Amino acid sequence: MSEIYLYGEKRPLPNDAKFNTFLEPMRTAVISIDMHEGHLSEDPDCPCPAPRAREIVSPIDGFHDQCRARSVPIIHVRTGLRPTGRDDIKGGISAWRIVFPLYTGEIPGADQHAIQGTKWTNLRTRIEPEDELVETKKRLSVFYPTDLDFLLRNMGVRAVVFNGGFTDCCVLNAAFDASNRDYRVVIARDLVRGTNAEMEEAALKMMSIHMALVMDSRDILSAWDARGAKASQAAE
């Protein structure tokens, strides 16, 4: 039986057919958010460090292998800003650049964050030839101003599984926007990381009661298998 987290408490997923729309493997894509060097590098010049997310790089790669073995597509989304700065710091500056330092203090290299063509946009997670890449994310949501929705609809996708970072920022925004577009949303609870544990848990609770099934990645795979997915022996 599949299990979910509802407001932080793990419990069985109700045996109700309407939840099948969240967990149909043939109509699902996995979307990995901003697992790039601009967040994950150990370099002291890392422009927007998210050190808690470093621990999920290898687990995400392992989960993606299991997804590929079940023919569930992987889409990597990364932020990409023009070097001129017109997308952000020399145009309509992103709100996070103004308010986030109130919490963290000034981030010395923030102006270099996600600049196209720099090492900071290199993905830390593995990308395979069959994966898709969306690299025009310029704000907190994976849908703005990207072609992700266009891509998903052309793939026949109606359910999305999110992993990556930040749980309380880009993942939360992605979940709201996906749900508002009538996609069914699943959050891989063990494969997301937030600003801190408290914010992460708060975001997961919000998503679990408003828009998403929050599940451990192993339970997502099991739910797919129960609904007809078949893993190739190479991934076992």
* DSSP state for residue 170 in the 8-state scheme: I
Whether 195 is covered by a domain: the verdict is: yes
What pLDDT was estimated at residue 235?
55
What pLDDT was estimated at residue 11?
98
Whether 1 is covered by a domain: the verdict is: no
What pLDDT was estimated at residue 219?
98
Whether 6 is covered by a domain: the verdict is: no
What pLDDT was estimated at residue 1?
80
Domain of residue 68: give its range.
Answer: 13-235
Whether 8 is covered by a domain: the verdict is: no
What pLDDT was estimated at residue 233?
59
Residue 86 CA to residue 29 CA, distance in Å, equals 32
Whether 161 is covered by a domain: the verdict is: yes
How many domains would you assign to the chain? 1
Q: Give rounded-to-5 percent helix, strand, coil for the chain.
A: 40, 20, 40
Whether 109 is covered by a domain: the verdict is: yes
The number of CA neighbours under 13 Å toward the Cβ of 151 is 22
Ranges of the chain whose pLDDT falls below 70: 233-236
Residue 17 CA to residue 60 CA, distance in Å, equals 29
The domain that holds 81 is classified in CATH as: 3.40.50.850
Whether 42 is covered by a domain: the verdict is: yes
Residue 110 CA to residue 215 CA, distance in Å, equals 33
Whether 3 is covered by a domain: the verdict is: no
64-95 pLDDT, tens digit per residue, is 999 999 999 999 999 999 999 999 999 999 99
What pLDDT was estimated at residue 200?
98
